[in-house]
Every structure is written in C-alpha cells, then in structure tokens.
Amino acid sequence: MGKEEKNAYTIKMEENLGEVKIADEVVAIIAGLAAMEVDGVSSMAGNATKELINKFGRKSLSKGVKVDVLEGIVTVSLAMNIKFGYSIKDVTEKVQEKVKTAIENMTGLEVADVNIRVAGVDVPEEA
C-alpha cells in the first residue's frame, strides 16, 4: 500500500527559478497556530492544547482544521474549544481575522472564508 497523496498548491511560478508548492497541511498548521494565539481559545477540537503542541509538535495543530483551496482561493474550517468566561463572538471574530491574515501573509493565497465551529467550552477545574 502506497503513501497517501497530499494536496499541494502552486503559489509561485517563475520561468527562471521554478515553482513553489505548499501542502494543504502547511496551510492548516498556519491556521491552527494563528487560532491558538487568540486569547480565549482553549484548544483545537482535535485536542491540540498548548501543552500537547509543545510535547508532540506542531503537526497536531492541523487537527480540527480543514483547508480547501480552489484556484488560489482558500476556505478554512476550524473546530475549537473556547475558555469559559470569554465572549464567543469576540473570540471567533479575532480568530477569523488572525487566521485570514496569517495565511495570506505567509502563503500569498487569498482567503475567502474562515468558518468556525465552537465544539465546546472549557471550564477551569476548581482547586
């Protein structure tokens, strides 16, 4: 059984220099990293908490993130958990803005939509 083929998108083609391709998983990791930077985000729905990311690496950030690229236009779908006490509306708006900016700045691809599913609310445990 062969390796699973991953999607890759051409982001630059120069006749003299060749082409640059970026894997969809890279776009998903960028989205996950940007989302986790927003205050009020507890974890991605794939359970990628900040502690797990530090322990197991950045690849776990792509869990809970789906990326579709069609003709250079990106649609991102994220599933995440929000910390209790934060405004879901405010946190999700910041995540949408941060994810869009990060992907566009790092890849040059255009982001059309950042769709968010709030999968849960994390309540801190009482000591």
Cα dihedral value 4, 62, 101, 111, nearest 10: 40
pLDDT digits (tens, 9 = 90+) for 23-35: 888 899 999 999 9
- CATH number belonging to domain 24-122: 3.30.70.1350
**More confident site: 100 or 127:** 100
CA distance 84 to 10: 40
**Rounded to 5°, angle at Cα 50 from 59 and 84:** 130
pLDDT digits (tens, 9 = 90+) for 49-96: 445 445 445 445 567 899 998 888 999 999 999 999 999 999 999 999
Question: So where are the chain's domains?
Answer: 24-122
Which pTM does this prediction carry?
Answer: 0.79
- Taken as a whole, the chain contains a residue count of 127
CA distance 114 to 67: 9
pLDDT digits (tens, 9 = 90+) for 10-21: 776 667 778 888
